[in-house]
Amino acid sequence: MSTNDYKGSFVSFLLSSGALTFGDFTLKSGRQSPYMVNTGKFNTGLLISELGSYYAAAIVDAKESGLITSLPDVIFGSAYKGIPLAVTTSIALAKDFGIDVGYCFNRKEAKDHGEGGNLVGLVPTAGSNVLIVDDVMTAGTALREVVPLIASIEGANIIGSLIAVDRKERGQGELSAVVEASREMNFPVFSIVDAEEIADKLSKTAPDKAEAIRAYLKKYKPAK
């Protein structure tokens, strides 16, 4: 997949796969949302493969735009949802762009036999550039759990974190969850698409759904 209009194509993919649905949903924050993104819907080989291509395109686009300073050496996914994301993204980078990188993920509990430890895959070392992948950020809890694991490896460098969708709403304070996490972690947290881009894509084909998203965004608009 090229980086040309991958964002608009990704919104169509979210819809056709059923990962983006509309209704009345209660979020972890307690807010009532008119839409929900469930990446658990990418549950076949074809769907998860295509999802990886969008993550890969977003990574290459981020490097070309200067959002991240270098391409990753390792794609890191947190247990459990981040594991297939790390694998499929590394495959897509190799297949679509000829960029061969490692993937790594954590165990929920450290293994005390065999190879031991709580990291599996190509474990980052000094000098490794690491990009963390996840699905949708609500409060940044998963990110805050895995960053210390990577930061404990002397010389490893976290260059950013990529999620599928940025809901662009207030997080724990007045800023958006993504901006809060970016500032706290001191690296960019970015997305394949955000809620505003989804609304823009839907404005012609499903204006009622686009308006519902915009009304929700207006209600929970962050300072940044």
Do 1 and 56 form a contact (C-beta atoms < 8 A)? yes
Residue 1: inside a domain: no
Residues of the chain predicted below pLDDT 50:
114
Please report whether residue 120 resides in a domain.
yes
pLDDT at 12: 96
The Cα–Cα gap between 122 and 10 comes to 28
| Residue at 142 is within a domain | yes
Number of domains comprising the chain = 1
Does 224 map to a domain? no
Sign of CA dihedral 177, 179, 184, 187: positive
Domain containing residue 83: 6-219
With respect to residue 133, please indicate whether it lies within any of the assigned structural domains. Answer: yes
Which is catalytic among the residues 108, 113, 204, 218? 113
Q: Give a yes or no: residue 102 inside a domain.
A: yes
The string of pLDDT tens digits covering residues 76-114 is 998 888 999 999 999 999 999 999 999 999 887 655 554
Write the CATH number for 71.
Answer: 3.40.50.2020
Name the active-site residue from 111, 219, 221, 224.
111
Buried b (16+ CB within 10 A) or exposed e, 111-127: eeeeeeeebebbbbeee
| Residue 112: per-residue pLDDT | 55
Residue 58 CA, distance from chain mean position: 10
187 CA to centre of own chain? 14
Specify the pLDDT at position 212: 97
- Tell me what pLDDT residue 115 has: 53
111 tagged catalytic: yes
